[in-house]
Amino acid sequence: MSRPDVVAHDVSEPISIDIWSDIACPWCYIGKRNLEAGLAATASDDDAPQVNITFHSFELSPDTPVDFDGDEIDFLAGHKGMPREQVAQMLDNVTGVAKNAGLEYRFDLLKHTNTVKAHELLHHAKAQGLQHEMEERLMSAYFTEGKHVGRVDDLVDLAVEVGLDADATRDALNNDTYVPAVRQDQAQARAYGIQGVPFFVIDGQYGISGAQPPATFENVLRDLWAKRGADVSA
């Protein structure tokens, strides 16, 4: 990732955390949980880092049909050209990692689908101040509950659960209101050189790739917060 010009921050200004992810990315949900664990570890600090988190769109498989005929092993074996036994082993591995992060993945229930509408919904939720709730609901629905997250009706149902208006959500999704915002996120990812997710951009300066352990986020946030305080007192 190319590094933008470093800018001065006021100590009272939260650290920005911009996360590029796809709700169909198993490592993204794990990365989200690890970030949350890192934040929880810093919460009891005398001067706990303050953060502002924003999720951004990244489609891992934009050519995926809304209704894929097959299970996750079928999809990955076809998409990656891997033997089914190897795919099954890979899914078992990520299921174990997810469990360590407190997540119960159910690849046997998962309904693989195109995620562009889910990304549009996340931008709609962001406009209503409910992006974090919507991100969590979508990932839980997809990875742990076997719900469909590619069709408008199903997405509206999930949106209502987090407090969004059904009619306004349906209109936004049917009218492609937030497609430009999705494409803008994807263009920014290309500008940063992001090729895989999750990818975390901290304060517009530092890039963290992958589902790093909680301690990684904990250490980066504490270091940045301490430097910000030192810059102000200097």
Q: CATH code at 27?
A: 3.40.30.10
CA 117, chain centre distance (Å): 15
Position 81 scores a pLDDT of: 87
Position 19 scores a pLDDT of: 98
Position 3 scores a pLDDT of: 41
Measure the CA–CA gap between 178 and 172, rounded to whole angstroms.
7
Position 232 scores a pLDDT of: 56
Position 233 scores a pLDDT of: 55
Position 147 scores a pLDDT of: 98
Measure the CA–CA gap between 122 and 134, rounded to whole angstroms.
6
For residue 109, give the 3-state DSSP assignment.
coil
13 token code pair:
């200004």
Residue 160: count of CB within 10 angstroms of its CB? 12
In a domain, 227, yes or no: yes
Measure the CA–CA gap between 112 and 60, rounded to whole angstroms.
12
Measure the CA–CA gap between 142 and 107, rounded to whole angstroms.
9
Count of domains forming the chain? 1
In a domain, 170, yes or no: yes
141 token code pair:
């629905």
- Residue listed under structure tokens 């305080």: 229
Backbone conformation region of residue 231, classed left if phi is above 0, alpha if psi is from -120 to 50, else beta: alpha
Residue 198, preceding peptide bond in cis (omega within 30° of 0): yes
In a domain, 9, yes or no: no
pLDDT tens string, the chain, 234 residues long: the values are 444 443 444 456 999 999 999 999 999 999 999 999 999 999 999 999 999 999 999 999 999 999 999 999 999 998 878 899 999 999 999 999 999 999 999 999 999 999 999 999 999 999 999 999 999 999 999 999 999 999 999 999 999 999 999 999 999 999 999 999 999 999 999 999 999 999 999 999 899 999 999 999 999 999 999 988 776 555
In a domain, 10, yes or no: no
In a domain, 3, yes or no: no
What is the domain range of residue 118? 15-233
Position 8 scores a pLDDT of: 43
162 token code pair:
């987090």
Residue 94: count of CB within 10 angstroms of its CB? 18
Stretch (H or E) spanning 208: strand 206-209
In a domain, 60, yes or no: yes
In a domain, 5, yes or no: no
